[in-house]
Structure 1
Amino acid sequence: MQNVRIEHDAFGPVQIPEDKYWGAQTQRAIGVFGAGREQFPPVLLHAFGQQKLASARANRRLGALDAGLAKVIEQAAQELADGHFDRHFPLTLWQTGSGTQTNMNANEVIANRANQLLGQPLGTKAPVHPNDHVNASQSSNDTFPTVMHLATRLALGRDLLPALAHLHAELQAKARQWHDVLKIGRTHLMDAVPMTMGQAFASFAAQIAHGIERVQGCLPRLDSLPQGGTAVGTGLNTPPGFAEAFCEELSLITQTRFTANPCKFEGMGTHDVFVEVSGVLNVLAVSLTKLANDIRLLSSGPRCGLGEMVVPDDGLTSSIMPGKRNPTIAEVLAQACMQVMGNHTTVSVAGASSLFELNVAKPVIIHNVLQSISVLAESVTIFTDKLLAGLEVNHAVLARNVEGSLLLATALNPVLGYDQVARITRKAADEGLTPKEAAVALGLLTAQEYDAYVRPQEMVGG
C-alpha cells in the first residue's frame, strides 16, 4: 500500500500520498472528479507558477505579505513555472467551471514546497498557508482567467507565431523561385486561363500574412488582465494598487507588457477574447486547409492525376500497394485544421456560458484554445519542414497543360469577339484539337496570327 500523510481542512482529515505536493482540497477533488486523462497542458501549469510569483511580489510590495514568507513562496512559484511540479497536478480539466480546483492545486503545491524550503514536512500549512498566503489578494475567479490570458499569450508568441512566420517565409521563397513557371489556373475545378506557379504561392503567402496579422490583432486584449477583481470584480480583500502592481511584476517576469483590465467584471464574467482568438485560429485553419488541399490535388497522380507538383518522399507507403506515395504531411495539416474548426464550435458555445459575473466554462475554453494553438503550431512546422521545403514542380506536365489548354483562346476576345472565340473552344473540345488548330481550321486566323496574339507568358499579368 502507498504511504500516506494526513492533512486537515474545514471538512476534516484527508489521506494524501506522502510524496505528493498537493493538499487536502486537491485530494478531495480527485475523489469528486477523478484524476482523468484529459488534464491541462504544462503551459497552463507553468503560467500558474508565473501568476503566483507575480502575486507574491505584488503582495510583498504592498505590505500584504510578510517579506520572509513571500521570498519562499516566490521560490516555490518559480519552480512551478520552471516545470518542476507538473506531475503534482492530477486533476482532470472536467471540474468546476471557474477552475477553482486547479487554482487550489497550485496554491497547495506552492505552499507545501515553500514550507519544505523552511524545513517543515509536507502538509503542515505553516508557516505558509495555501489560502492565506499563496492565494492572498486573489480568487479563483480572477486568477484562473488571468492564467488563461497568460498561457494563451505565451503559446501564441512562443509557438504559433514563429511557426507561421517560418511557413510564410518558405511560401514567399517558393513564390520567388517559381515566379515565371507557367501553369493553367483553375476555376470551378476546371481549366481557366494561364497564371504562374509563383502567383499561386504568393496567394498562399498572403493568406498566411493576413493570419499572422489577425493573431497579432488579438494580443492587446489578451494583455489586459482581470487579476485584482477577486470574487465578482469589485476587488474585495485586495490592497489598493494590487492589480497594477501585479501587472508590473508579471510584465517583468514574462518580458511581455501586461496591463490591468479597467473593467474586471468584463474580464471575469465574459471571455469574448478567447472566442475571438479561437475565431482567428479558425480562419487560419481555413487558410491552411486550402494550402494543404491545393498541394494534394496539384501533386495527385503521379501518372493518372494532375501531377503538376511532386511532394518529397517521406519514406512511407501503402500497406497493400508497394511503393505508393501519399501526401501524408498535407493530410496531417488538414486533419489538424479539422480539429481547430471543431474546437472553435466548442469555444463559441462555452463563451456563451457567461452567467452574470462569472463565465462557468473556463476549463473547457482554455483546453480547446490551447489545443488549437498547439496542433496548428506543430502541424504547420512539420508541413513547412517536411513537405513545403522539398516541394518541386513538374515542368514537363505544366508545359504540356499550358500548351493544350483550350482557354488560351481567351486572349483572342479583343481580336475576334466572344462568340467567335467560343466557336474555337467548342470545336477544339469536340474534336480533340488545340485551340490553335481549331482557329486555323475555322479559317479565323492563320497559325502565325494565332501565335502573335496568343502568348501565354504575356497573359499572366505583372
Structure 2
Amino acid sequence: MTQTTGSTYRIEKDSMGERQIPETAYYGIQTLRAMENFPISGLKPLPTYVDACVLIKKATAIANGELGCIPAEISQAIVQAADEVLAGKFRDQFVVDVYQAGAGTSHHMNVNEVLSNRALELLGDEKGNYKRVSPNDHVNYGQSTNDVIPTAIRIGALVALEKTLFPALSDAIAALDNKAEEFQDIVKSGRTHLQDAVPVRLGESFRAWAQILSDHLIRIERASEDLMILGLGGSAAGTGLNTHPQYCDRVAQLLSRLIDQPLRPAPHLMAAMQSMAPFVNVSGAMRNLAQDCVKISHDLRLMDSGPKTGLKEIQLPPVQPGSSIMPGKYNPVMAEMTTMVCFQVMGYDNAIALAASAGQLELNVMMPLIAYNLIHSIEILGNTLAALTTRCLEGITANRDRCLAYAEGSLALVTALNPHIGYLNAAAVAKESLETGKSLRQIVLERGLMSSEELAQVLDLEEMSAMPEAKIN
C-alpha cells in the first residue's frame, strides 16, 4: 500500500493494476471496480444479507483461528470487525449494486475488504496493508464465493423468516382468530360466484382465513428446513480444496450457535453448491402464501365496500383520507397495499425460478438475483402482514344489521327447502320471489307446500349457518 502525498486517497493493487481508493473507505480496489462496472439499479445489498455474509466470516475466522490456519491475532481482529458490522457500523461501506458479477463475487469481496481494512485498524495498522491482513488470504481463507454466497442466502433467509415473517404471520393468525370469536354469532349471506349463497357465520369467515394462514405457516416452516443444510466448506467446486479437514463441521457448529438454528454440512457439498432448489422451495411457499393473502385482501375490500352502494358488512379501520378531491372518503389502503406487495412477491418468485434453472456445471451464476429476491420477499411480506394486522385486522368492526338483512333477503335460503319440497318446486319459489318481491315464506305458504311451523324450523338462520361441529355439540 502506497500513500499518495498530500491527498485523501490511498493506492491499492490487485492482479489488474493500481487504483486510488478514498482514504475513508473500508472497501478496497475490487469493490471499486465493481462499483464502476455495475451502475445499474442503485439497489444496495439488503442489511440482512450483509449480516448473513458477515456471520459466515465471523464463524470462519473463529474456525480457522482455532485450527491454526490463520494467526490468532488476525482471527480475533476479523471477529471483532465482524461484530462491529453486526452491531450496525460501517453499513455505508457495502456498496455493490444488486445486479453485479455472477455468483456474487463482487459483493463477497466487498465484505472481505471491509472486514480486512477494519481488522487492520484494530491491529494498529493502515487500511490497505493487505500483506498483514488480506481480504483473500485471511478473511477468505478456505472459502470461495461459490460456497459462501449460497450459504449466505440460506442464513439470510432463515434469519429473515425467524425475525420478520414467522412472528408477523403468527400475529395475523391470532388477530383473525380473535375476530372469529367476536363475530361468531353474526349471520351473513354467503356468496359464491359473487352471487347469493346460503347463510354463513361472519366469525367462521374469519376463522377460515386464520386456518388458511396457519396452513401456510406450516408449509413455509417445512420448506425452510432445506435451508439448514450447508455447502460451506466445499470451496471452489465442492471438493473442499484448501480447507482444513475439520473446517466443514466446525464452521457449521459455530454458525448454528450464532443464529440459533440446527445447521449441518450437506452430505454432498458439490450438490449443495450447485442446486438452488431449497431457495425455489421456500420462494414457492412464499408465493403460495401471497396468493391467499391477495384473496383475503380482496374479501376484506368487498365486505367493506360502500358505505352506501356496497356490501358494508364490516368496517375496516380508516387510517388516512382516501381522496384528494372527495371529502370524507376512506379507502381500504392496508388491504390494497397488501395486494401490491403480494404481487411483487409473486414476481420475485418467477425470477427466482428462472435464475435457479440457469446454472451450468459446477456453479449457478445467478445467485445475487436469488439472494435479493428471496430475502426481500420474506421481509416485505413479513412487514406487510405486521402492518395489516395492527392497522387493519385488529380494528375491524361488524355491521350486524346489514349482515342480517342480507342473510334474510337471500334467495339462496331456498336451498334449505330442497329436501322438503323438491328442487323444481324450490326453483319455482325462488323465481317467483325474484319476479314479485314476495318473500320465500309467503310464496311457500301460498302454494301450500309447507306449514308455517315447518318453515320456521327449516329457515332457522342460526341453525343453517352453524358449522358441522357446532351442530354436533
Whether 2:141 is the aligned partner of 1:146: answer no
Question: Deviation string for 1:194-213 (max 9, x for gaps)?
Answer: 11011111110111001100
Partner of 1:309: 314
Query: CA separation in 1, counterparts of 2:402 and 2:438?
Result: 18
Partner of 1:69: 74
List aligned pairs for 1:400-415, cutoff 5 A. 400-415=405-420
Deviation at 1:329? 0.8
Query: CA separation in 2, counterparts of 1:282 and 1:312?
Result: 27
Of all paired residues, the percent bearing the same amino acid is 37
Query: CA separation in 1, counterparts of 2:40 and 2:412?
Result: 63
Whether 2:115 is the aligned partner of 1:110: answer yes
Match of 1:31 among 36, 59, 63: 36
Partner of 1:228: 233
Q: Which amino acid aligns with 1:283?
A: N
Query: CA separation in 1, counterparts of 2:211 and 2:451?
Result: 42
- Asked if structure 1 preserves the Cα contact closer than 8 Å seen for 2:148 and 2:232, the reply is yes
Deviation at 1:5? 1.2
List aligned pairs for 1:193-204, cutoff 5 A. 193-204=198-209
SS state at 1:13 partner: strand
Partner of 1:336: 341
- Asked if structure 2 preserves the Cα contact closer than 8 Å seen for 1:351 and 1:361, the reply is yes
- Asked if structure 1 preserves the Cα contact closer than 8 Å seen for 2:234 and 2:240, the reply is yes
Stretches of structure 1 lacking an aligned partner (at least 5 in a row): none
Query: CA separation in 1, counterparts of 2:432 and 2:7?
Result: 85
- Asked if structure 1 preserves the Cα contact closer than 8 Å seen for 2:40 and 2:99, the reply is no
Partner of 2:369: 364
Deviation at 1:418? 1.3
Deviation at 1:342? 0.8
Question: Deviation string for 1:144-183 (max 9, x for gaps)?
Answer: 1111110011001110000000000001111111112111
Partner of 1:375: 380
SS state at 2:241 partner: coil
Deviation at 1:35? 7.4
Aligned residues: 462
Whether 2:258 is the aligned partner of 1:260: answer no
SS state at 1:355 partner: coil
- Asked if structure 2 preserves the Cα contact closer than 8 Å seen for 1:410 and 1:421, the reply is yes
Match of 2:293 among 285, 288, 296: 288
TM (normalized to structure 2)? Answer: 0.95
Query: CA separation in 1, counterparts of 2:127 and 2:354?
Result: 41
Q: Which amino acid aligns with 2:334?
A: I
- Asked if structure 2 preserves the Cα contact closer than 8 Å seen for 1:46 and 1:82, the reply is no
Q: Which amino acid aligns with 1:395?
A: R
Query: CA separation in 2, counterparts of 1:168 and 1:411?
Result: 33
Stretches of structure 2 lacking an aligned partner (at least 5 in a row): 1-5
Shift in CA distance, 428/36, structure 1 to aligned 2, threshold 3 Å: closer
TM (normalized to structure 1)? Answer: 0.98
SS state at 2:244 partner: coil
Query: CA separation in 2, counterparts of 1:452 and 1:254?
Result: 60
Q: Which amino acid aligns with 1:22?
A: Y
Deviation at 1:86? 1.3
Deviation at 1:449? 3.1
Partner of 2:58: 53
Query: CA separation in 2, counterparts of 1:406 and 1:90?
Result: 63
Query: CA separation in 1, counterparts of 2:184 and 2:455?
Result: 25
Deviation at 1:2? 8.1
Partner of 1:96: 101
